[in-house]
Amino acid sequence: MATKRSTTPIEVESIKRKMSSTKKTIEFYSGRDSLGNYIRAPENYDSTRVIAYDDEFVVIRDMYPKSQIHYLVLARERQYARQQHPIEALGDEVFLARMRRKVIQVREMVVRELQKERLAGREKEEEKRTKICASLVGDGEKEEEQRREENIGGNDASKERLLVSRSSDSVVEEVASAAAVTDEQRGRDWDREVIAGIHARPSMNHLHVHVLSIDRHSKWMKHRNHYNSFTTRFFIPLEDFPLAKDDVRRFPDGAEAFLKSDLKCWRCGLNFGNRFSSLKKHLAREFEEWKKE
């Protein structure tokens, strides 16, 4: 009779990993209720999806972000998370105060992410400037060497080369000067680059507060309703709560009207009517300009 082979420590670890992986694929909610999975068991997700959680809230990355950075703050308490409309839940002053405190923290997360993205972009620009400077300095040195070799006193060719060399020096100075300008010197208020609020008619059943960068630049911004849901009064800023009883955003017909309004650039106000494809091209240009501010 063959003896049963004992499981090695390495095999045990392999089995544990497989069990853990299987566990992470189990989801109890789907469709409009799918946010419930993060609320129920945030520990089942890695940091690419769940950013932070505690007993009251879960912070996740939006799966279909409508801006460069887009987070969601989910309430975990049943009475606020699912049992009433978000407008009513945020009318509770005690809960609203707690949500505001959490959103302040999440806004700071978004700001740090923006600064990180901006720094990475600046490093790329700096690398590009360095290459330009090196090229221009190299050209100037070659011109100077050529002048010495030819030993030309004052003819037009020599003067032209001298102008080229001086022009190169001036460009180097301009590039270096541009690189030295920092966000602090410009007085950038990063908190103004972040918005936080809910939709008047949410697409998901569990209460979730959007916290996102203001750019609305994303491949997931695919149609008019997407854009207007974040740029019109359909998007209700957290600071507007609690809403007045007669606020039009409380009523379905009033809220839906905002989605049908003209498409307007969030940055310059240019009206595109219903031409979403034209707006998207414009937003790509505005995004690049916004990054330079």
Domain boundaries of the chain, sorted by first residue: 27-115+189-292, 123-186
Average pLDDT over residues 184-201: 86
The CATH fold of domain 27-115+189-292: HIT family, subunit A (3.30.428)
Per-residue model confidence (pLDDT) at position 183:
53
Quote the mean pLDDT of the chain. 83
Average pLDDT over residues 214-222: 97
- Please tell me the number of Cα atoms within 13 Å of 100 on its side-chain side: 14
Tokens of 184: 């602090």
The tokens 């600071």 sit on which residue? 239
Share of the chain above pLDDT 90, in %: 62
Per-residue model confidence (pLDDT) at position 36:
97
Return d(Cα 183, Cα 186) in angstroms, integer: 5
Residue of 250, 243, 240 whose CA lies nearest to 100: 240
Average pLDDT over residues 12-35: 68
The tokens 């032209």 sit on which residue? 160
Per-residue model confidence (pLDDT) at position 142:
67
Per-residue model confidence (pLDDT) at position 198:
98
Label residue 60 by pLDDT band (50, 70, 90): very high
Per-residue model confidence (pLDDT) at position 8:
66
Label residue 82 by pLDDT band (50, 70, 90): very high
Per-residue model confidence (pLDDT) at position 250:
94
**Does the pLDDT at position 91 exceed 80?**
yes
**Does the pLDDT at position 251 exceed 70?**
yes
**Does the pLDDT at position 133 exceed 90?**
no
283 vs 9 pLDDT, higher one: 283
CB pairs under 8 A, 24+ apart, for 270-278?
Answer: 274/224, 276/223, 276/224, 276/227
What's the predicted TM-score (pTM) here?
0.73
Label residue 254 by pLDDT band (50, 70, 90): confident
**Does the pLDDT at position 277 exceed 90?**
yes
18 vs 98 pLDDT, higher one: 98
